Amino acid sequence: MGTSGAFGGSQTASWKDVAEHLQDEDEVKDDGVTDGESDSGADAPGAKLAALVAKALQGDDSSLKPRNAPASQDGDSGLLFGALVGNPRQTGTTRSIAGGRRRQITASVGRAGRAVGAGYALSSGNASALAEYGLELSTLSAMSKIDQIFAVMEAVEVDNSGPSDIALRGALYDVLDRILGVDDQASPVETLRELVGEYAIQLFAIEVDALIQDGALQAERRSECLGELSQVIQFDASRLHVDAAVLTTPRQFSHAAQQLMRATLSILRENDIQ
């Protein structure tokens, strides 16, 4: 589906920090200076960027603040089965704040989690599970894969009414396309982990596009910026250990996606080297 187009940046203090970091990097690259950073962990080229983006996204939605996720013995972050499928909390609404706007990230990724659950139910031909999402197997079976994807997104109310929603649809489309592919072997938890990472990248793309549109960032830097963030998210997500949770209900899929988003941003914040 590609990344989202420019709709204007959020203009919060944290996103302005992201913009200043990208502009500083531009100046360094223009001067032909490199910092000799390594390719993984907190020393990766995009590590500082990832920490700033995570902080900005947590600022957009206060329910994304960390809630003491346990750490494994080797220092990796961990989530237990109970944390993934425990009692979901009602998530907040979008509201204006001084100097910018909030996003409904937690609520949105929860809906996306339900879409993933519906995708797995459709892939396995589970009519009773699909019924929990308000979908009928016989109807979906007569559709093309593309139509099935949009039907699933519509059923869980993932729309395109704003830039954040379009970002979510872009991330979710690619995930559902793989779930419904004949060769998909990923577990639901692995798929949700991939989804939340891609959603964070898509939201970052909105801010990058706004900077380019305003002339504050060189257009040719777009793919490089997104690539740096993607590399760090993939590395850090691999450190996020989760139990082999058996997700079955829409509520469990929704809550697991929200918890994984919260944990992913928390581990990205660990890259905040000064």
Which residue would you say has higher pLDDT here, 12 or 180?
Answer: 180
Which residue would you say has higher pLDDT here, 239 or 100?
Answer: 239
**Total Cβ atoms within 10 A of residue 44:** 19
Please report which confidence band the pLDDT of residue 209 belongs to, taking 50, 70 and 90 as the band edges. very high
Q: What is the pTM of this model?
A: 0.81
Please report which confidence band the pLDDT of residue 64 belongs to, taking 50, 70 and 90 as the band edges. confident
Which pair of structure tokens corresponds to residue 83? 């944390």
Mean pLDDT of the region 204-223: 91
What would the pLDDT profile of 165-183 be if each residue is shown by its tens digit?
889 999 999 999 999 987 6
Which residue would you say has higher pLDDT here, 70 or 127?
Answer: 127
Neighbouring residues of 36: CB distance < 8 A, sequence distance ≥ 6? none
- Which residue matches tokens 């531009």? 26
What would the pLDDT profile of 134-166 be if each residue is shown by its tens digit?
999 999 999 999 999 999 999 998 877 778 888
Question: What letter represents residue 238's amino acid?
Answer: S
Instruction: Return the pLDDT at 104.
Output: 82
Which residue would you say has higher pLDDT here, 3 or 187?
Answer: 187
